[in-house]
């Protein structure tokens, strides 16, 4: 009895698969092609979005890093003379004046050529986290090094701007890919249906 039941179930499954196959084969070719292209659109949109995200993120982060390194270099040039002359008060005043225009700066300190702290500035409240990056620049004057400037920068705001830019780029890429694919589908279907009608006319 159990064997007969299993046999009937297997036959029912096979009949279902055959019917499903026949139904699929009865679907017009242009509709099958459209379905395949639609799946290609979905996968292509996702893939292009990921590629866009990776390329744009890497490029923007590299650009921001280079810009901040140049900014640190200019910063070091502004305090170089006061560091050389040992004027710690002027050095600190210059730092406070400069960082006032940079909300991303969280901590700045200056070391002399012996490794001692000349002056430092710290933003309140103190911020820590993976978004904090350190940039260093040697303080040079007349071709000689007199210390090191270290700047800690919170890149959190930059990360938000990068994410927004990447989202826009992904949407633009998806729309472009969708437009191109729909254009291809239209022409493929047009010429396929045209060929079918010509074949039908010949048989008639």
Candidates 3.30.110, 3.30.70, 3.30.450, 2.70.98; correct CATH number of 50-161?
Answer: 3.30.450
Average pLDDT over residues 10-21: 59
Note the pTM of the prediction, 2 decimals.
0.59
Q: Where residue 62 falls among pLDDT bands split at 50, 70, 90?
A: confident
Q: Where residue 43 falls among pLDDT bands split at 50, 70, 90?
A: confident
Predicted local distance difference test score (pLDDT) of residue 136: 92
Q: Please answer whether residues 168 and 179 qualify as being in contact, where contact means their C-beta atoms are separated by less than 8 angstroms.
A: no
Q: Please answer whether residues 81 and 118 qualify as being in contact, where contact means their C-beta atoms are separated by less than 8 angstroms.
A: no
- Please tell me the distance from the alpha carbon of residue 145 to that of residue 32, in angstroms, as a whole number: 72
pLDDT in tens, 120-171: 888 766 666 677 888 999 999 888 899 999 999 887 777 777 777 777 777 7
| Beta-carbon count within 10 A of 82 CB | 21
- Please tell me the distance from the alpha carbon of residue 70 to that of residue 20, in angstroms, as a whole number: 66
DSSP run (H or E) holding 12: helix 2-26
Q: Give the start-to-end residue ranges of the domains of the chain.
A: 50-161
In eight-state DSSP terms, residue 127 is: -
């Amino acid at each position: 009895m159990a064997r007969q039941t299993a046999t009937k179930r297997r036959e029912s499954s096979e009949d279902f698969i055959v019917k499903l196959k026949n139904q699929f084969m009865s679907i017009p070719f242009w509709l099958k092609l459209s379905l395949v292209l639609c799946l290609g659109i979905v996968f292509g949109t996702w893939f292009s979005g990921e590629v866009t995200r990776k390329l744009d993120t890497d490029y923007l982060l590299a650009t921001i890093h280079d810009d901040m390194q140049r900014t640190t270099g200019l910063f070091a040039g502004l305090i170089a003379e006061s560091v050389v002359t040992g004027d710690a008060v002027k050095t600190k005043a210059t730092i406070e004046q400069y960082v006032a225009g940079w909300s991303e700066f969280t901590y700045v300190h200056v070391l002399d050529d012996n490794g001692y702290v000349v002056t430092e500035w710290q933003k309140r409240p103190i911020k820590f986290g993976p978004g904090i990056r350190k940039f260093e620049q040697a303080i040079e004057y007349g071709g000689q090094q007199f210390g090191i400037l270290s700047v800690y920068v919170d890149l959190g705001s930059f990360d938000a701007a990068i994410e927004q830019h990447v989202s826009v780029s992904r949407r633009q890429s998806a729309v472009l890919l969708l437009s191109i694919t729909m254009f291809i589908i239209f022409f493929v279907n047009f010429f396929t249906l045209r060929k079918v009608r010509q074949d039908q006319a010949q048989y008639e």
